[in-house]
Structure 1
């Protein structure tokens, strides 16, 4: 018995699954939302964090959130004289009349040529600097450097780091919002640095007491009522019974050096100013001799906070006032930040509900459409999308529906049986019918066109009644 070789297996004609497109938006949208949330957080923090160089920051006559009017009222309530000065030289001269505390809420506004004068304060005085920069610390020759800085001010106890606070005022105040900028001893400083609030406050008991605090929250109107902020602020400033409050509206002008009436060097805060420093005359330009904020100034804005004679002389030389849009000042800063967040939220909702563009999706048609009409009606759409696979599937599905209706086949008929019946009616082979009805995706437009013509020819042949000529038959 001779064994016959088995015929070679037919190549697999199973359709290859269409390549799924990468949905880039699934990767981009989460990162975009995270970036938007991070941006909103940073912008909101920048808007909420006060700027020490802005006009009115910790001013004793400003009543908004970043002002210091509540602190000034609390000091006056304790019998402390609040003397507001808008000029560096007059503030220094005001310390010559007796013990007092010089409060500098914005050291960055001081002119570099005048910062060094803060290191020569008389004995029995106190200097309080709020969040000074490294330039100010070096100019005053303080053995302190800036260490790490927090994202937001933190309320801590004076001995939060386990080291007892050596400053009685801070120890009595207890927990306060004083930890924003921390300080450390300068390299080469041999003594132990007296710190409180985990390095947020430094006390240097020199001839003139120097207190450096790294946060302005205890002095602000919107934060003074929290924790022990008011007790800390009034304790630091009211120890000598008089506060010289240096309230600068902007960067201080450079000092003007000239010659006084006695021939000695004179120093005026502005060119052409009449105030001299160390002129050697009888009164020496002491406060009380024509200077607002002298010994008779009570610090009341209605009495001693108006423009002085020196200010009137400088009005013609100073820069013009800033003209701001009144709309910006009509609403607080948090309102504009909230408005921006609502706008971004609305934009995200629009993007979420917007129509999404993607690959063609097979949908059932409301009416029966012949294969030839499908090709003619949607040819350009499929050609533009290069969707040969979906187009071939649509043509084959329409042809199978018509063939199943003509051959009385249920929808669950196996493909092999359908191919055999179609081959018997058309006169071809079963493999040819199976390839035609269940083959793979065409690789070119020419193959797709040939498939459409073959399906149309088979459908016309099988579906036409025996006694009725098919369309195009010439008999």
Structure 2
């Protein structure tokens, strides 16, 4: 006996299958749209020119840049040349030139000495303990913040007035110290006139920034230091212009056959596809309230007060470094469990500098005093900014961008 199924019953049975297919097609369409959109954004970012305007950059218009000081020098008739290549900067130096730069932490000792060897007048706008030792000009000293005057016989400082420095130095034997504190132990400016060459060191990160240049005698001090010659060659150090060489250690990729990596990737993609095809669909997450809720800001402020009360610079530096490593790992696409060496190597690859260049910064010894802690924090910030900016560099076959 044959039973006839009415049309409306058949359509009711087929309706759920049709809805399921439609939802599946819509889901795949959304996935394809997201992939295409992500690729488009990646191409746009890769073809966008970066802006290398960090602290003490004579072309930087932000609060930490030094464009205002460069423009004042130009209005005073001083020719200001900005170079981001140490080779070009050394070639631009002549007899009536002042070579200016921030602490060149991206250069080796030989690179620094080679760069400044051709200049008869060199001004370092910031300095670390290592640079002071290399120049044999002194060491860091305690005391900063109060207004100081020249208190030395350098003629160009006679009309500067008072300044409020962030950092003081203890001059070495034979090195003249100006703008000393009330006790006379520390000096803001160190001047070494040995062998007919004048080398000057000052911590100008705050003094010569766009935001602070108009305060006190900061602008007058900048003119006194940089305006004594008709030409200023301003070199901007960066990780893209480093001369640090490091040997890349053997990796798993160099020790395995070329076909192994594609095979592993194919297996992973196959497993992912199988999981999406046959995997179980979990239900919504169940929210469960905790017994006690503590605001993250309270924990952060509490730890900060404990660290400041203890005066533990190493502990604070470790916290800064840990935060930088976490942020760098995220920006470089690494796992949260990535080691410091892995992050340093990935950052070196991103910046196109030899591997091993950043191990000391991300995994080396920690600073032990507040002055070194401030410099260390600036170096970490500059590294993060360089990694962020490098994401916008287009790849150029056979060379750097």
Q: Is the TM value for this pair above 0.5?
A: no
Q: Which has the higher helix share?
A: 2
Point out which structure has higher relative CO (alpha carbons under 8 A, 6+ apart).
2
Which one has the largest radius of gyration? 1
- Compute the TM-score of the two structures, normalised by the length of structure 1: 0.38
- Compute the TM-score of the two structures, normalised by the length of structure 2: 0.44
